[in-house]
Amino acid sequence: MMVKLIKTYINPTLSEALEIISKAVSSKELTIIVGECSVDYQGRSESRLTLGERVIIIKQDGAFLVHRPTGYSPVNWQPATSIIETRLDKDKLIIMAVRRKPRETIWVYLTRIYTIITGKLVDNGEFIMYMDEHEIRDILYEHPELIEEGLKIIEKEKKIGEGYADLFGIDARNTPVIIEIKRVTATREAMLQLYNYVQTYQKQTGVKPRGILVAPTITSSAIESAYKLGLEWKEINLQKIWKYRKNKNIKHGTLFDFLKNKR
């Protein structure tokens, strides 16, 4: 049986680290470095980060992350890199990571290294996300009565101009209806997005459609915008929507509780 090879190096010298890291990177291993460094970035913007202790992760596809000891976001990063070069310069181990498009570069100047982990991770796990906007849209497609009695949906993802309206249908009086769905609180921005569809549709067909923004909650200024732009909105209960989902065989107890507690 193959033994998993995850290697750990404690307090390596910078020249030892140079060899470890360059070897790991060239064989596309995941590399984690805990140490003290400063970081420069230049590309779409430019940044400087002075000395401090951080975690650097170089992933198997070249994704590059520099994490400070707090917070969700990396302080510097590259989503993917084509070139990763390492070299020693005096008392610093320099890692340069270059992204092709857009052309961007990170330089990490390591002054001290506490730990390095290298190894090939195998992850064939399946990731499934539930209750995203797509799923809500599909449920409302099947159950338009949740938006308005008498509403008939004709099309999902209807192309209007350059964009796509979430749902398109006709109401009880045969007026076309364009529907924009948000799974989180809808802001003025969502109302403007809907307005764009309504306006483009009218321009293209000569018929003025209704525009309905559907969301669990809507900000007051979005409602104000709706009045100004001649749009409508409908607050929906996610818990109710959730009950109409197709894959009822899947257990979602806690999400249900979560939604219940919100309402």
Partner DNA sequence: TATTATATCTCGGGT
Partner DNA sequence: ACCCGAGGTATAATA
Cβ(110)–Cβ(40) below 8 Å: no
Burial of 148 (0-12, 13-18, 19+ CB in 10 A): middle
Main-chain phi, psi angles of 40, to 5 degrees: -115, 150
Tokens standing for residue 73: 């976001």
Candidate residues 70, 174, 247, 249; the one interacting with a copy of itself per rule CB under 8 A: 70
Max Cα–Cα distance, the chain, nearest Å: 78
Cβ(141)–Cβ(156) below 8 Å: yes
Q: Where in 213-252 is the site for DNA (CB under 7 A)?
A: 217, 219-222
Give the list of residues 6+ apart from residue 213 with CB closer than 8 angstroms, or none. 179, 180, 182, 186, 190, 191, 194, 222, 226, 231, 232, 233, 234
CB of 187 to DNA, least distance (A): 4
Total residue length of the chain: 263
Q: Where in 23-62 is the site for DNA (CB under 7 A)?
A: 41, 43-45, 47
Q: Where in 86-125 is the site for DNA (CB under 7 A)?
A: 99, 101, 104, 106
Candidate residues 1, 132, 149, 247; the one interacting with a copy of itself per rule CB under 8 A: 132
Pick 68 or 92: Cβ nearer a copy of itself = 68
CB of 139 to DNA, least distance (A): 13
CB of 186 to DNA, least distance (A): 9
Candidate residues 11, 27, 28, 80; the one interacting with DNA per rule CB under 7 A: 80
Interface map 128-167 toward DNA (x if CB under 7 A): -x--xxx----------------------x-x--xxx-x-
Query: Which helix or strand (DSSP H or E) is residue 94 part of?
Result: strand 92-99
Binding partner of residue 55 among a copy of itself, DNA, none, CB cut-off 5 to 8 Å per kind: a copy of itself
Interface map 13-42 toward a copy of itself (x if CB under 8 A): -----------------x-x-x---x---x
Buried b (16+ CB within 10 A) or exposed e, 176-187: bbbbbbbbeebb
Interface map 242-261 toward a copy of itself (x if CB under 8 A): ----------x-xx--x--x
